[in-house]
Amino acid sequence: MSASGPFQDKPALRVESLTLSRGERILVRALSFDAGAGEYVEVRGGNGSGKTTLLRALAGFVKPRAGKIAVEGAEEPTLALHYVGHLNGLKGAATAYAHAQHWAGLFGASAARRDGALARVGLTAQAELPVRVLSQGQARRLALARLVLAPRPIWLLDEPAAALDARGREMLSALIEAHRADGGLVVAAVHDALGPEPSQTLTVTA
């Protein structure tokens, strides 16, 4: 029943002979894969192998050198996905709560979700602190709050567990499991297994 749930439109990623490059260097060569609702895809590879580049291409930020990326079951691909990358996307001078509020507007989330999101990632006590003073792990949790805040079927996560403590990682893997059960699709680049059993593993070797 993993593919039922709130995402009626059954998201799916279809990647066909994708080639990605940085500068003159080719990082991903003729990669093809399909992933559908409920899947958890792990992307593996050494430092500098091209994991981040692949995720950014899936998000639509990096234009492929060749090949195709299709997001099915979504009119506008960028509205079907969340991207949590190496950079947290935070402003030091604004509070954690102000970030939640901003994202709720930016992604079109309800007020209820907005208020629940900080609690979900364990930042209730830090809601009114400016982000500048948060610890590294707290800042990462805040970035992850975007996932909870606005429901979107596809999650692209780049080393999402970076700087998280053991409880934070449990929280993250619970989030991923819940998302899969809702019929979502998760693609995560990792060095260590996050916890959930991957339905497929892509290895990038450049």
Give the footprint of ligand ATP on this chain (CB under 6 A).
22-23, 25, 27, 45, 47-53, 126, 129, 133-138, 163, 165
- Binding residues among 15-34 for its own copies as defined by CB under 8 A: 22-23
d(CA 38, CA 103): 25
The binder of Mg ion chosen from 17, 78, 124, 136 (CB under 5 A): 136
In the complex, least distance from residue 134 CB atom to Mg ion, rounded to whole angstroms = 10
CA 45 to chain centroid, in Å, comes to: 17
- Please name the residue ranges forming H helices in 37-110: 51-58, 96-107
User: Residue 24: exposed, middle, or buried by beta-carbon count in 10 A (0-12, 13-18, 19+)?
Assistant: exposed
Q: By C-beta, is 127 or 181 nearer to its own copies?
A: 127
The binder of another protein chosen from 108, 112, 166, 192 (CB under 8 A): 108
Q: By C-beta, is 74 or 204 nearer to its own copies?
A: 204
Task: Decide: is 126 part of the binding site for its own copies (CB under 8 A).
Answer: yes
3-class DSSP state of 33: strand
Who contacts 62 (Cβ-Cβ below 8 Å, separation ≥6)? 20, 53, 56
- Binding residues among 22-81 for Mg ion as defined by CB under 5 A: 52
Pick from 69, 70, 77, 20: nearest CA to 49: 20
d(CA 79, CA 35): 18
Residue whose CB is nearest to ligand ATP in the complex, by number: 23
In the complex, least distance from residue 1 CB atom to another protein, rounded to whole angstroms = 29
Q: By C-beta, is 122 or 183 nearer to its own copies?
A: 122
| Residue 30: its H or E element | strand 25-35
Binding site for its own copies (CB under 8 A): 22-23, 45-49, 52, 86, 122, 126, 133-138, 140-141, 159, 162-168, 191-192
Binding site for Mg ion (CB under 5 A): 52, 135-136
